[in-house]
């Protein structure tokens, strides 16, 4: 068998793996990254590209008063019984340093989300802005030939393949028919996109997670780190209790990779491991009743590789993954895409109901909380665990709904393919969706009675800073509430998906995998979703997977390089 020698072997090319690789190489280690798929970037390249880092340097520069102590208080509240003080402290201590390191030494740059509220802003230690930072948009030309193997963004959240940045950029898209400035902004981006399509066959202005993955990869390539594609790691090599490398399958046959300082598992968790889903996802009794927008190669390989060394997973977490409601978008070839519903639920004039015709949650709450409420509300109901997002004609054309875009983008094909349901009356819509008509009509009437006054005594939509952040600030008195009154009426069905798994390998504060008797396995690290989330199964804020992924990648690399934390 062929062999390859290095100091650190990184398995997986998402945020966790690439952060570890770049940090290690910068610290003087000889690094190899291996990636199972033909493209690099993993879920990270499909993501929003937000990192949640309390007391981060960008917020400090903008004068936000945040602290590690406040971050700790918040995480203690959020993780409850699953709070792991040592790992949380390592995250809070190293997160800001990691951001500084990347901004100063690499192609990775960030922008601050000044009004991006924590998801439970009324909890102790929470902030209503300043903890979430996003990868700055990036010019794909910087990647040269490597742009061809960067995983593309999730098709469903692009506009005809064009990436739309969150925050201000997205607002311009919503206001395209209302503001000449927005129309000009969008037109300019669209012209550039058409030029890129002609010249490169893809969007070259990378935003969000695609910008993050592109920037991380560029940083790795600049340092001369080799990245093997189509190269799954299939077995770890040990010398006694120490991990000393791995067998990696390549197009030229298996290679024995010897890694003097160790191996970082960063294979992106188990969102496509059907057996683990069956065991751990309450809404998926066979493991199949789940729709994940994560890439198909994330099948829990990191966990499987660590099992023979005693690697244990945090199966006790109340939620084994980061849930998100998704709608299934029919494609022309008969397949389906998954659209994650991050922001439409909070808009004024949108509610969610179950088959029973009634609401079950504050729709503006975060995706993870929405899904938990849905599972509870549908317990005992026959059939698929699902809800419908409901709206009326003016609201649909103002904000869109899921994959349906606002005016002037036509909606006829989404009505024809069944993605969007329509009824001239509420009763008709209920029948279309197999929702209890009488309960539904009563529910909408009850909602409307209060919505006009900006009130929601049932679920208090619009009551938190996070709800309002995603609402429409031009709507008063409550940016998340407006009556559903002017037909025709519309619905999009949502089911449960995930953004990545939480119940990963148990590790210590140095990102070392814990083996038999809870002792760290020498030479074996985990980062990203291969590592048990430090959030204990909860979802405290925008970027709580990528923030820790990059931070623990950074920590793992420094530990392997012998740099004290």
Q: Which residues bind ligand FAD (CB under 6 A)?
A: 11-17, 34-37, 42-44, 46-50, 154, 209, 232-233, 266-269, 293-295, 297-298, 301, 340, 499-500, 528-529, 543-546, 549
Which residue number, 42 or 423, has a Cβ lying nearer to ligand FAD?
42
Beta pairing, strands 132-135 & 336-340:
unpaired
Report the C-alpha dihedral over residues 239, 245, 249, 253, rounded to 10 degrees.
-70
Instruction: Give the three-class secondary structure for 389.
Output: strand
CB of 178 to ligand FAD, least distance (A): 27
Which residue number, 390 or 544, has a Cβ lying nearer to ligand FAD?
544
Which residue number, 400 or 500, has a Cβ lying nearer to ligand FAD?
500
CB of 340 to ligand FAD, least distance (A): 5
Beta pairing, strands 253-265 & 242-250:
antiparallel
Which residue number, 295 or 400, has a Cβ lying nearer to ligand FAD?
295
Which residue number, 43 or 464, has a Cβ lying nearer to ligand FAD?
43
CB 546 within 8 A of CB 131: no
CB of 450 to ligand FAD, least distance (A): 33
Which residue number, 258 or 463, has a Cβ lying nearer to ligand FAD?
258
Which residue number, 489 or 552, has a Cβ lying nearer to ligand FAD?
552
CB of 303 to ligand FAD, least distance (A): 10
If you search the block for the tokens 């070392």, which residue do you land on? 512
CB of 469 to ligand FAD, least distance (A): 14
CB of 1 to ligand FAD, least distance (A): 17
Which residue number, 35 or 456, has a Cβ lying nearer to ligand FAD?
35
Rounded to whole angstroms, the Cα distance separating 494 from 208 reads 24
Total residue length of the chain: 565
Tokens, residue 54: 């309390």
First-residue to last-residue Cα distance in the chain: 37
Beta pairing, strands 132-135 & 50-52:
antiparallel
CB of 431 to ligand FAD, least distance (A): 33
Beta pairing, strands 110-112 & 132-135:
antiparallel
- Residue (of 316, 444, 294, 319) closest to 369 by Cα position: 319
Which residue number, 329 or 353, has a Cβ lying nearer to ligand FAD?
329
Cis amide prior to 408 (ω within 30 degrees): yes
CB of 482 to ligand FAD, least distance (A): 27
Q: Which DSSP symbol is given to 150?
A: B
State the number of CA atoms in the 13 A half-sphere of 150 facing the CB: 35
CB 528 within 8 A of CB 72: no
- Residue (of 365, 318, 342) closest to 468 by Cα position: 365
* Cα distances (Å, whole numbers) of residue 393 to 363, 373, 387, 398: 19, 27, 19, 9
- Consecutive H or E run containing 526: strand 520-526
CB of 73 to ligand FAD, least distance (A): 21
CB of 500 to ligand FAD, least distance (A): 3
Which residue number, 524 or 544, has a Cβ lying nearer to ligand FAD?
544
Rounded to whole angstroms, the Cα distance separating 523 from 127 reads 37
């Amino acid at each position: 068998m062929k062999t390859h020698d290095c100091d650190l072997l990184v398995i997986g090319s998402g945020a966790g793996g690439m952060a570890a690789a770049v940090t290690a190489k910068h610290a003087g280690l000889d690094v190899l990254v291996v990636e199972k798929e033909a493209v690099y970037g993993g879920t990270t390249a499909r993501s929003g590209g937000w990192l949640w880092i309390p007391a981060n340097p960008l917020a400090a520069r903008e004068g936000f008063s945040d602290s590690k102590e406040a971050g700790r208080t918040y995480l203690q509240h959020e993780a409850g019984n699953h709070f792991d003080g040592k790992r949380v402290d390592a995250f809070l201590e190293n997160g800001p340093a990691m951001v500084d390191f990347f901004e100063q030494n690499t192609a990775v740059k960030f922008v601050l989300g000044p009004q991006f509220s924590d998801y439970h802003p009324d909890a102790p230690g929470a902030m209503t802005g300043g903890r979430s930072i996003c990868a700055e948009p990036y010019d794909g030309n910087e990647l040269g030939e490597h742009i061809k193997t960067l995983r593309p963004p999730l098709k469903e959240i692009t506009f005809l393949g064009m990436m739309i940045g969150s925050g201000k950029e997205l607002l311009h898209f919503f206001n395209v028919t209302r503001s000449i400035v927005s129309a000009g902004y969008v037109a300019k981006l669209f012209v550039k996109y058409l030029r890129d399509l002609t010249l490169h066959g893809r969007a070259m202005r990378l935003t969000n997670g695609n910008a993050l993955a592109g920037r991380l990869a560029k940083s790795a390539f600049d340092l001369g780190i080799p990245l093997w594609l189509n190269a799954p790691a299939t077995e770890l090599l040990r010398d006694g209790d120490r991990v000393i490398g791995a067998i990696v399958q390549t197009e030229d046959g298996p290679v024995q990779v010897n890694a003097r300082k160790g191996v970082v598992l960063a294979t992106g968790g188990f969102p496509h491991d059907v057996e683990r889903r069956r065991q751990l996802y309450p809404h998926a009794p066979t493991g199949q009743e789940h729709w994940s927008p994560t890439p198909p190669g994330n099948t829990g390989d990191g966990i499987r590789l660590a099992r023979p060394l005693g690697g244990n997973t945090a199966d006790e977490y109340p939620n084994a993954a980061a849930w998100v409601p998704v709608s299934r978008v029919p494609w022309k070839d008969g397949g389906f895409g998954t659209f994650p519903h991050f922001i439409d639920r909070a808009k004024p004039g949108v509610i969610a109901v179950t088959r029973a015709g009634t609401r079950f949650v504050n729709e503006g709450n975060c995706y993870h909380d929405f899904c938990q409420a849905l599972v509870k509300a549908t317990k005992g109901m026959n059939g698929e665990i699902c809800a419908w997002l409901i709206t009326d004609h003016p609201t649909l054309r103002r904000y869109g709904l899921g994959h349906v875009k606002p005016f002037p983008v036509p909606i006829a094909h989404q009505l024809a393919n069944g993605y969007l349901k329509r009824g001239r009356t509420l009763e008709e819509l209920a029948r279309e969706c197999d929702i209890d008509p009488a309960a539904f009509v009563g529910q909408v009437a009850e909602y409307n009675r209060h919505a006009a006054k900006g009130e929601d005594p049932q679920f208090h939509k619009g009551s938190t800073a996070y709800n309002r952040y995603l609402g429409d600030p031009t709507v008063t008195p409550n940016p998340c509430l407006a009556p559903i009154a002017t037909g025709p009426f519309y619905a999009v069905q949502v089911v449960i998906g995930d953004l990545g798994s939480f119940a990963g390998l148990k590790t210590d504060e140095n990102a070392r995998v814990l083996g038999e008797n809870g002792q760290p396995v020498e030479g074996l690290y985990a980062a990203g979703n291969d590592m048990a989330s430090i959030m204990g199964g909860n979802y405290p804020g925008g970027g709580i997977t990528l923030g820790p992924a990059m931070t623990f990648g950074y920590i793992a690399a420094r530990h392997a390089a012998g740099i004290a934390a």
